Amino acid sequence: MEGDPHEQIARLEREIEALGESAAWCRKIALAARIAIGAGCVLFAAMLIGLLYPDGLRLLIATILTMGGIVLYGSNRTTANQIAARMADAERLRAELIGSIELTVVPQQSSRVLH
């Protein structure tokens, strides 16, 4: 990367923030997927023990909820892992850039306390 390290650091911080928002969205989707899996299993269980009559529509809904939730959870987990890896890379690069900046020590002018 070429250019001003301060600009690069600012860009990386924006990228890290955006990735953090994406990770939060992935957590919400994962929760929805787990709820769908649970609802499908509860519906199957209710039909199995006789609380609900197992007609075709209920079986189809239970199957869709369970399998759809499993697929959504797996796909979302892969996306969340990719986001976490990109976030870690950006944070590592940001730390390297911060470490490469030559900092100057500001001399202390007075030691009086203003309170």
Element (H, E) at 42: helix 5-48
Residue 91's pLDDT band (cuts 50, 70, 90): very high
Residue 47: predicted pLDDT: 95
**108 vs 60, more confident:** 60
Residue 111: predicted pLDDT: 66
Residue 108: predicted pLDDT: 75
Is 115 a member of any domain? no
Is 11 a member of any domain? yes
Question: Into how many domains does the chain fold?
Answer: 1
Is 74 a member of any domain? yes
| Exposure b/e, 56-91, CB count within 10 A at least 16 = b | eeeeeebeebbeebeebbeebeebbeebeeebeebe
Is 40 a member of any domain? yes
Is 16 a member of any domain? yes
Is 104 a member of any domain? no
Is 109 a member of any domain? no
Q: Which domain holds residue 36?
A: 5-99
Is residue 98's pLDDT more than 80? yes
Give the predicted TM-score (pTM) of the model: 0.73
Is 106 a member of any domain? no
